[in-house]
């Protein structure tokens, strides 16, 4: 896949490349998918999803950050590939998402309720704060959404006195689930 260029910065992003790689595998986007993102910020996730999914809708509550998303999409030749919405979800969420990513946690319970009501096939949420991760895990579970919780901790090596030491990134909790209950495995009814 082409490298994602992010010449424009925004305070809360970007989602780190290694985390994006795992996210991409969990979302498993294809050309028939409508991907919806809550909290596009720098557009790092948006840009990569736009290369995989048939349609992408990105919501960002802060107008200046949505503008950063737009500029970074433009820098990657993807300016026309995404429906950008300056909205605070659940306001502005489409009714026909196949995959939903919550990079921002405001109103996440309302967003999850919307995912359940509209039967979103893949729902992933990234959280960095411990207490929010615990509450969000419970919220996924209460709605019957939760398939797995993945905790990611990435460290990057750097040279120190001719050897290699490491700088560590903050841990990220990735909540992965589905509002269709379909894990892709055939059931008795499918046979």
Has 42 been labeled as part of a binding site? Answer: yes
Q: C-beta of 55: minimal distance to ligand SAM in Å?
A: 18
Q: C-beta of 145: minimal distance to ligand SAM in Å?
A: 17
The SS3 assignment for 19 reads helix
Which residue, chain included where needed, has tokens 């986007």? 29
Extract the tokens encoding 56.
Answer: 């992408």
The phi and psi torsions of 150 (rounded to 5 degrees) equal -115, 130
109-124 as b/e, with b when 16 or more CB fall inside 10 Å?
Answer: eebbebbeeeebbbbb
Report the residue from 29, 33, 34, 42 that binds ligand SAM according to the rule CB under 6 A: 42
Extract the tokens encoding 45.
Answer: 């996730």
Report the residue from 13, 73, 127, 140 that binds ligand SAM according to the rule CB under 6 A: 13
Give dist(CA 124, CA 121) in Å, integer: 10
Q: Please count the other Cβ atoms lying within 10 Å of the Cβ belonging to residue 188.
A: 5
Q: Report DSSP state, residue 104.
A: S
Report the residue from 4, 15, 57, 178 that binds ligand SAM according to the rule CB under 6 A: 15
Has 30 been labeled as part of a binding site? Answer: no
For ligand SAM, what does the binding mask look like between residues 130 and 169, x meaning CB under 6 A? ----------------------------------------
Report the residue from 24, 94, 107, 180 that binds ligand SAM according to the rule CB under 6 A: 107
Has 128 been labeled as part of a binding site? Answer: no
45 binds ligand SAM, rule: CB under 6 A: yes
124 binds ligand SAM, rule: CB under 6 A: no
Three-class SS string for 158-173? Answer: EEECCEEEEEECCCEE
Has 92 been labeled as part of a binding site? Answer: no
60 binds ligand SAM, rule: CB under 6 A: yes
Q: Which residues contact ligand SAM by CB under 6 A?
A: 12-15, 38-39, 41-42, 44-45, 59-62, 65, 88-89, 103-107
């Amino acid at each position: 896949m082409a490298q994602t260029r992010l010449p424009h910065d925004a305070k809360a992003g970007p989602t780190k490349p290694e985390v994006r790689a795992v996210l991409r595998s969990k979302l498993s986007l294809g050309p028939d998918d409508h991907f919806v993102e809550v909290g596009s910020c720098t557009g790092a996730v948006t840009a990569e999803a736009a290369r995989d999914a048939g349609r992408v809708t990105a919501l960002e509550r802060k107008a200046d950050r949505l503008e950063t998303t737009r500029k970074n999409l433009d820098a990657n030749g993807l300016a026309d590939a995404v429906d950008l919405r300056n909205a605070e979800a659940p306001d502005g969420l489409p009714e026909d998402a196949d995959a939903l990513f919550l990079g921002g946690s405001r109103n996440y319970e309302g967003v999850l309720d919307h995912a359940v009501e509209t039967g979103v096939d893949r729902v992933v949420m990234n959280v960095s704060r411990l207490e929010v991760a615990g509450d969000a895990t419970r919220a996924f579970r209460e709605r019957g959404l939760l398939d797995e919780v993945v905790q990611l901790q990435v460290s990057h090596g750097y040279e120190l006195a001719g050897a290699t030491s490491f700088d560590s990134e903050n841990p990220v909790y990735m909540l992965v689930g589905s509002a269709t209950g379909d894990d892709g495995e055939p059931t008795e009814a499918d046979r």
